[in-house]
Amino acid sequence: MRLRSAIAVAAVVGGAIAAYLTVVHYAHLSPICTSGGCEKVQQSSYAKAGGIPVAVLGLVAYLGVLLTAAVRGVPAALAGAVISLTGVAFSGYLLWAQIARIHAICQWCVGNDVVIAVVAVLCVARVLTEPDAARHRERPMTPRSGR
C-alpha cells in the first residue's frame, strides 16, 4: 500500500505540472520561468504531438498512472509501469529536442522529466513486489499427495 501511495503522490505532482502547462497553453500565457527557455520550448513545434499539446498527453498519462495506483493487482501494476516507462521514453525524446533542436531548456519540462522518472521507478518496483506476483514467484513446487 505504501508503494501505491507513493506512486499516487508522485503522479499528482506530475499531474500538477502538466495541468499548469496545459492551462498556460490554452490561455496563451507565458509560463513562469527562471531558466529563460520555457516560452521558447512551449512555442516550439515539439510542444505538440499529433496536434495535441504534450502537456495534455502528460496530464492524461499521470491520470492513468493515478488510476492504476488505486487498483490492486498485477494487471494494474503492469499498466502503471507501461504508462510511466512510455512517459520516460517520450520525456527523454523531448529533453533531446530541447537541447539539440530548440536550444532552450524549460524548467517545467525538466521537473516533469524528474517526476516521471521517479514514477517509473516506483511503478517498476511495484510490479516486482506486487503481492500477487510475489506469491507466484515464491510458490514452492510440491508433489501432489497420492490418493
Tell me the pLDDT tens digit for each residue of 51-101.
Answer: 999 999 999 999 999 999 999 999 999 999 999 999 999 999 999 999 999
Residue 146 has pLDDT above 90, yes or no: no
Structure confidence at residue 6 as a pLDDT band (50, 70, 90): very high
Residue with cell string 488505486: 70
Q: How far is CA 117 from CA 30, 112, 141, in A?
A: 26, 8, 37
Q: Tell me what pLDDT residue 131 has.
A: 77
Taking the alpha carbons of 62, 95, 123, 5 in that order, is the dihedral positive or negative?
Answer: negative
- Please identify which residue in the block is written with the cell numbers 488510476: 67
pTM value is: 0.87
Q: Give, for 53, the enclosing helix (H) or strand (E).
A: strand 52-53
Place domain 2-136 in its CATH homologous superfamily: VKOR domain (1.20.1440.130)
Q: Is the dihedral of CA 110, 114, 117, 119 positive or negative?
A: negative
